[in-house]
């Protein structure tokens, strides 16, 4: 069963600032990944997985932010 980056941060008491520092990612990118707003590259996935000493496959990487239409009037 895979777990989200946010859940790993909670379990290990790691802030997004610490995640960024330990993974070598920019703060904004680490935060976006933890919040599910950014799907990380393979290199970013490996960097984050190494922070928590888990395999990349043990982390769920999908978006959590619903995709919405920004323009138009919706269906109809």
Q: Does residue 26 form part of some domain?
A: yes
At 1 the pLDDT is 79
At 62 the pLDDT is 73
Q: Does residue 65 form part of some domain?
A: no
Calpha distance 6→52 (Å, rounded): 12
Q: Does residue 38 form part of some domain?
A: yes
Q: Does residue 76 form part of some domain?
A: no
Q: Does residue 66 form part of some domain?
A: no
At 75 the pLDDT is 58
Give helix 42-52 / helix 16-23 axis angle, nearest 10°.
110
Q: Does residue 71 form part of some domain?
A: no
Q: Does residue 40 form part of some domain?
A: yes
- Sequential pLDDT tens for the chain (76 residues): 799 999 999 999 999 999 999 999 999 999 999 999 999 999 999 999 999 999 999 999 876 655 555 565 655 5
Find the domain containing 46 and state its range.
3-60
In DSSP notation, the chain reads: --EEHHHHHHHHT--HHHHHHHHT--HHHHHHHHTTSS---HHHHHHHHHHHT--GGGEE----SPP---SS----
Question: Can you give the CATH number for the domain in which 45 is found?
Answer: 1.10.260.40
Domain total for the chain? 1
Q: Give the up-direction half-sphere exposure of residue 18: CA atoms within 13 A in the CB hemisphere.
A: 11
């Amino acid at each position: 069963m895979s777990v989200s980056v946010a859940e790993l941060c909670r379990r290990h008491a790691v802030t997004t600032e610490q995640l960024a520092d330990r993974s070598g990612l920019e703060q904004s990118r680490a935060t976006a990944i933890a919040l599910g707003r950014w799907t990380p590259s393979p290199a970013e996935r490996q960097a984050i997985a190494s922070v928590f000493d888990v395999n990349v496959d043990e982390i769920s990487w999908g978006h959590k932010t619903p995709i919405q239409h920004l323009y138009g009037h919706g269906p109809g």
